[in-house]
Structure 1
């Protein structure tokens, strides 16, 4: 069922389904049926994080699915409070235990946490985890170009992915260009702007009407055609399936240009990585 999902090849040769399923703000019990529904719909790429508190539920759903491990792509993330070399290694072991896995496909630093100034040491622990084969790929989340430049200058493994807030109101062209210059795939979280009006925007609604699709499907299709990894999140079975049904239509260059015009300087709906220090290690 998942064969029609395009895959992107990361800079270390690992293949990842371009459309994944995010589980932010989904409780540990609620996440089990949500992931089960996603897997039944055809998703094979699941994105969680230690701070979400639902790694165990994700693991239960994966185990119950009967889907072969090599067909699944599982991402989790290190929370801010665990940054630092030794604490990262301990936190990763705990994530694996909760997930019930021997390895993850992608491990990300959740935020750069500038107040802690620990992301270089943290990433060196990621490099060890990667060398040991316990994470097939490693990367970062919410890293600005200047964070990436420092990391690239002081470590040896180029991040495979940079997962950032990205949607039509906040298109991150400069950041996407910086990622691409280093062979880093950009992954979009909050791809529909977390309910902040993207799917109600008149231009998006008009495009949806023209294509006989929902506004959410149009926006997800835009992400795919930009070349982003994208991880929509829902707990509603109909919406989970609808978000996956985006592979049998295309937006024209003119359509893409209309969406490009929606970018706005105040479009960010989440935290600013340069000032996000919640949970910073003491």
Structure 2
């Protein structure tokens, strides 16, 4: 006999849960404060926090896609073993967490190839997916999609179809589409539409900022009204209110990075309990949810 909550879950679509595996000092807002040549001497939190997430997923019976930085994978290979052991999907977040707009095409290709090869060597599995740091594939950097296809990726989840001062491509499709002639699938982060604008509901800082009731409504709307799966993301540092606090930050940066960290784990737990979740591979590539059959001309 199914309980009420299980019945509710079974009545809606399976959504894609994703984790961007990077440490607190690797976020783009801190890139000038913590250049990559000092990362090795900083206190790390990503291994512990990611294992906390794995335990949380295990308790709820959830499988997810982990977009992992190459630097993290090389430093913590046992973490990759644990993610694979728990049957989650391994995907790439690049090697150095460098935004695409700060790289040449040759530099971008080297970064993604290095990360892909390392993750495949450590996991023993093919790496199908990529997510650009800070969602930095947009109209100006769409050349990166062809390089991802050339490097052997099947899908990307690197576009956020919203307006933002650091990222965003508001005119991009809201739902999965074929982004290159060869068939690379792009799976944008979830939004809902209101008054002609795309409102972000795919996780991260917006999830910490907005009341939980909004996220519940938005995902339910996508599932029930639009008939689409949601794709959600968060970072290991977002469940860690005890991470080393940085000083002399701008008000905006301080708010974005630290706001509501202490509530994040409980909010994630609610989300896991109330909706069905799976990996990107299972939700978008192996089910009828995937409808990106024709190339979309984005501009």
Q: TM-score, normalised by structure 2?
A: 0.49
- In structure 1, how many angstroms separate the alpha carbons of the residues matched to 2:264 and 2:170? 34
Q: 207, 213, 216: which one pairs with 1:221?
A: 216
- Cα distance change of structure 1 residues 219 and 67 upon mapping to structure 2, 3 Å threshold: farther
1:125 paired with 2:147, answer yes
Shift, 1:41, TM fit: 1.6
- Cα distance change of structure 1 residues 223 and 45 upon mapping to structure 2, 3 Å threshold: farther
Gaps of 5+ in 2: 1-5, 27-43, 162-168, 223-228, 241-261, 276-298
1:208 corresponds to:
none
Helix, strand or coil for the counterpart of 1:19?
strand
- Cα distance change of structure 1 residues 195 and 57 upon mapping to structure 2, 3 Å threshold: farther
Gaps of 5+ in 1: 10-15, 177-185, 200-215, 251-273, 275-282
- Cα distance change of structure 1 residues 59 and 194 upon mapping to structure 2, 3 Å threshold: farther
Q: Is 1:35–1:58's contact at 8 Å kept on the other side of the alignment?
A: no
Helix, strand or coil for the counterpart of 2:55?
helix
2:114 corresponds to:
94
- Cα distance change of structure 1 residues 224 and 152 upon mapping to structure 2, 3 Å threshold: closer
Q: 60, 64, 81: which one pairs with 1:45?
A: 64
Q: Is 1:127–1:138's contact at 8 Å kept on the other side of the alignment?
A: no
Shift, 1:153, TM fit: 8.1
1:140 paired with 2:162, answer no
1:67 corresponds to:
85
Alignment of 1:182-197 (within 5 A): 188-190=202-204, 193=206, 195-196=208-209
Shift, 1:145, TM fit: 5.1
- In structure 2, how many angstroms separate the alpha carbons of the residues matched to 1:142 and 1:123? 14
- Cα distance change of structure 1 residues 76 and 238 upon mapping to structure 2, 3 Å threshold: same
Helix, strand or coil for the counterpart of 1:104?
coil
1:107 paired with 2:130, answer yes
1:76 corresponds to:
92
Shift, 1:67, TM fit: 1.4
Shift, 1:148, TM fit: 6.0
Q: Give the total of aligned pairs.
A: 198
- Cα distance change of structure 1 residues 23 and 36 upon mapping to structure 2, 3 Å threshold: same
Q: 231, 234, 242: which one pairs with 1:232?
A: 234
- In structure 1, how many angstroms separate the alpha carbons of the residues matched to 2:25 and 2:269? 22
Shift, 1:126, TM fit: 1.3
- Cα distance change of structure 1 residues 32 and 193 upon mapping to structure 2, 3 Å threshold: same
- In structure 1, how many angstroms separate the alpha carbons of the residues matched to 2:142 and 2:178? 12
RMSD between aligned residues: 4.5
Shift, 1:244, TM fit: 3.0
- Cα distance change of structure 1 residues 152 and 23 upon mapping to structure 2, 3 Å threshold: closer
Q: Is 2:201–2:219's contact at 8 Å kept on the other side of the alignment?
A: no
